[in-house]
Amino acid sequence: MAGHYDFLCEQGATFTRQVKWRDSNQVPVDLTSYTARMQVRSTADSSIVALSLTTENGGIALGGTAGTIDLLATATQTAAIEAGDYVYDLELVFSSTVYRVLQGCFVIDAEVTR
């Protein structure tokens, strides 16, 4: 079952976070050979993706045996998102198996200086 975590992202600023995926014994999961994807939308059923981070587009870096998942959105990417409340989920893919590891709210805090 996916964990729940809410992110606060400052509009127009670089967004970086690191999370660690651990098994039920709190041992980091080896993410070697995994890929990852995360999408941010205004609602779960919205057809518009406000932000897409993947291992393929450089928005997610996986830390192999350390189990770390590094998220990165550039200042340009966050500036392009309208301030407000969104939802997201983060999925890891190994072979043909998809694991939803994290989900929650993704709040874009309005930028004043631009």
* CA dist., res. 8 & res. 35, Å (int): 24
Any idea which residue has 């993410």 for tokens?
Answer: 31
pLDDT score of 114: 81
Domain boundaries, the chain: 3-109
Q: Which fold has domain 3-109?
A: Immunoglobulin-like (2.60.40)
pLDDT score of 6: 98
Residue 98: phi and psi, rounded to 5, are: -110, 130
Q: 3-state secondary structure string, the chain? A: CCEECCEEEECCCCEEEEEECECCCCCECCCCCCEEEEEEECCCCCCCEEEEEECCCCCEEECHHHCEEEEEECHHHHHCCCCEEEEEEEEEEECCEEEEEEEEEEEEECCCCC
- pLDDT tens sequence for the chain (114 residues): 899 999 999 999 999 999 999 999 999 999 999 999 999 999 999 999 999 999 999 999 999 999 999 999 999 999 999 999 999 999 999 999 999 999 999 999 999 998
